[in-house]
């Protein structure tokens, strides 16, 4: 007799998902339970009334399962069904539209921000609007020359960890330059700022006796990972909210070691933190400040040292983390701080110790980039309105529509703006995140706005009312005075 349940499903589906089907529905199937009960105890089992399809059918119609099926049942209790488990995880992502399909974008080093998109097999010219190569430094002739020279002089790879043949004069020179950029005694390179944040917070939290961590709720995954792994007590304060930080710090004795961790320019909203207030309050309670300047270095401050330099707060930032992979156009991360703290992290952080160091090409490229930017920063100018930073988020609030707008813009208009969905942002906060550079011309911007408007309407999105408070188009959700849930809402600041 054909199973009335399974016969409704395709054979491929049954083949791929049989372990899950068995697990979910097996207990309701009279055939499976009969066989299983007989196998385990020799007794009769199986309640026909449990099967939604056979409830009306006479039990005499039910035959004993074939030998093959019995073998399958026995195997379920055996090893873990890895393949179907992983399939299920991926299915979950696809169902909630957070499954990621990477676009293939070959950037053009002679025509930044142009690129060739090859995701669908053809070569389509596009404009990239979402790169973190904020100033196009990856393509700067001076940076490319430095990389080429380092390649010829030292080869492609570093050859080892910093401790085992992977240290060079170039690495040490870059560390000195980064330390001096941030007015600190020392700096330490990591293979990325993800690793820098994760390893530093983990190492310090573990090393400081009884340490408590105070973490901004909007913090980047790299900081969250380090804090979570350290398993020290943590206190989450509302995004960019000094008052909430104050309240939380009051709950822990002043003598206890503490770290307060936050970002200056928020990676997804573009909000800039109230740096002076956060540092002052942290120090009033005897905490160290750990400040992520990843989206600010190379862009803000007279020499590109970030918001800390712009706001004259460098002496109050105990540990600064930065990246070489965004405005500096290369790859790698670093921290800058007092020499003893840096030496402690250098000596204890597994993420620094046990990995191949940055290759000379990258170190040389980053050095050239920092030097060029330090000299030229002011010439660049930056179209930062109205978010106060260079990051312009356009909230869509629906993962499927967000992906659709991004895909249609790429396919039909040649603009690449990545859809940012969960888990990079919270569910309901899905957005397009633009990072225009000085190389995006006015004509490009006008074209982009017209094309976005067309696609916006084509996918069924509506224009929202402007903000009640500042009457500007909503970029970051409601921000009426007093009710805005982003304490340092850039839209509010723009309106003031």
Ligand X SMILES: Cc1ncc(COP(=O)(O)O)c(C=O)c1O
Give residues in contact with ligand X (CB under 6 A): 192-194, 197, 220, 222, 263, 267, 292, 294-295, 323, 325, 333
Q: How far is the CB of 298 from ligand X (least distance, A)?
A: 12
The number of C-alpha atoms within 13 Å of 115 and in the hemisphere containing its C-beta is: 22
Sign of CA dihedral 312, 315, 316, 321: positive
Q: How far is the CB of 226 from ligand X (least distance, A)?
A: 11
| Cβ proximity to ligand X, 267 vs 389, nearer residue | 267
- Please pick, among 258, 326, 404, 431, the residue that the annotation labels catalytic: 326
Q: What DSSP element (H or E) covers 71?
A: helix 67-76
- Contact between 374 and 181 (Cβ < 8 Å): yes
Q: How far is the CB of 191 from ligand X (least distance, A)?
A: 8
| Cβ proximity to ligand X, 193 vs 204, nearer residue | 193
Helices (H) and strands (E) in the chain, counts: 17, 14
How many CB atoms lie under 10 A from the CB of residue 458? 12
Task: Give the rounded distance of the alpha carbon of 195 from its chain centre.
Answer: 13
Specify the 3-state DSSP secondary structure of 343.
helix
Q: How far is the CB of 130 from ligand X (least distance, A)?
A: 12
326 is an active site residue: yes
- Contact between 107 and 128 (Cβ < 8 Å): yes
Q: How far is the CB of 45 from ligand X (least distance, A)?
A: 55
Specify the 3-state DSSP secondary structure of 465.
coil
Q: How far is the CB of 205 from ligand X (least distance, A)?
A: 17
| Cβ proximity to ligand X, 334 vs 448, nearer residue | 334
- Contact between 494 and 472 (Cβ < 8 Å): yes
Distance CA 351, CA 231 (A): 17
- What does the block give as tokens for 463? 């224009």
Nearest to 398 by CA among 419, 377, 370: 419
The DSSP-derived string for 66-116 is PHHHHHHHHHHTSS--HHHHHHHHHHHHHHTT-------EEE-TTSTTEEE
For residue 184, what are the contacts with CB-CB under 8 A and spacing of at least 6? Answer: 314, 320, 336, 337, 338
Q: How far is the CB of 323 from ligand X (least distance, A)?
A: 3
Distance CA 175, CA 192 (A): 14
Phi, psi of 170 (to 5 degrees): -60, -45
| Cβ proximity to ligand X, 84 vs 330, nearer residue | 330
Specify the 3-state DSSP secondary structure of 171.
helix
Catalytic annotation, residues = 326
């Amino acid at each position: 007799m054909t199973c009335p349940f399974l016969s409704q499903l395709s054979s491929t589906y049954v083949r791929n998902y049989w372990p899950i089907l068995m697990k979910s529905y097996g207990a309701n199937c009279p055939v499976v339970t009969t066989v299983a009960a007989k196998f385990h105890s020799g007794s009769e089992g199986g309640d026909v009334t449990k099967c939604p399809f056979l409830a009306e059918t006479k039990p005499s119609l039910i035959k004993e399962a074939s030998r093959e099926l019995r073998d399958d049942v026995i195997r379920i209790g055996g090893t873990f069904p890895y393949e179907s488990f992983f399939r299920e995880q991926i299915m979950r992502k696809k169902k909630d539209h957070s499954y990621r399909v990477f676009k293939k974008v070959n950037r053009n080093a002679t025509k930044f921000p142009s690129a060739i998109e090859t995701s669908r097999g053809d070569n389509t010219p596009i404009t990239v609007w979402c790169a973190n190569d904020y100033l196009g430094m990856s393509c700067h002739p001076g940076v490319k020359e430095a990389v080429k020279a380092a390649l010829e002089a030292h080869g492609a790879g570093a050859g080892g960890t910093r401790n085992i043949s992977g240290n060079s004069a170039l690495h040490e020179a870059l560390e000195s330059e980064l330390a001096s950029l941030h007015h600190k005694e020392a700096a330490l390179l990591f293979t990325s700022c993800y690793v820098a944040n994760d390893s530093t917070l983990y190492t310090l939290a573990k090393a400081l006796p009884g340490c408590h961590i105070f973490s901004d709720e909007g913090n980047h995954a790299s900081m969250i990972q380090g804090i979570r792994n350290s398993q020290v007590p943590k206190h989450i304060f509302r995004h960019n909210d000094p008052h909430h930080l104050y309240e939380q710090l009051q709950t822990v004795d002043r003598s206890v070691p503490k770290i307060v961790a936050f970002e200056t320019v928020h990676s997804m909203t573009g909000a800039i933190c109230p740096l002076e207030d956060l540092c002052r309050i942290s120090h009033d309670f005897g905490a160290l400040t750990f400040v992520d300047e990843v989206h600010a270095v190379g862009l803000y401050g007279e020499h590109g040292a970030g918001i800390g330099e712009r706001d004259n707060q460098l002496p109050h930032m105990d540990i600064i983390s930065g990246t070489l992979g965004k405005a500096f156009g290369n790859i790698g991360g670093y921290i800058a701080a007092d020499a003893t703290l840096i030496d402690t992290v250098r000596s204890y952080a597994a993420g620094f110790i046990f990995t191949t160091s940055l290759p000379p090409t990258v170190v040389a490229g980053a050095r050239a980039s920092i030097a060029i930017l330090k000299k030229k920063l002011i010439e660049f100018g930056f179209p930062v309105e109205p978010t106060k930073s260079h990051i312009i988020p356009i909230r869509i609030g629906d993962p499927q529509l967000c992906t659709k707008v991004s895909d249609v813009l790429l396919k039909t208009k040649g603009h690449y703006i990545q859809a940012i969905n969960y888990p990079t942002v919270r569910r309901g906060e899905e957005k397009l995140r633009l990072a225009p550079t000085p190389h995006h011309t006015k004509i490009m911007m006008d074209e982009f706005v017209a094309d976005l408007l067309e696609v916006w309407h084509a996918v069924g999105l509506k224009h929202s009312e402007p903000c009640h408070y500042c009457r500007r188009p909503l970029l970051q959700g409601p921000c009426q005075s007093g009710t805005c849930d982003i304490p340092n809402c850039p839209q509010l600041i723009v309106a003031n």
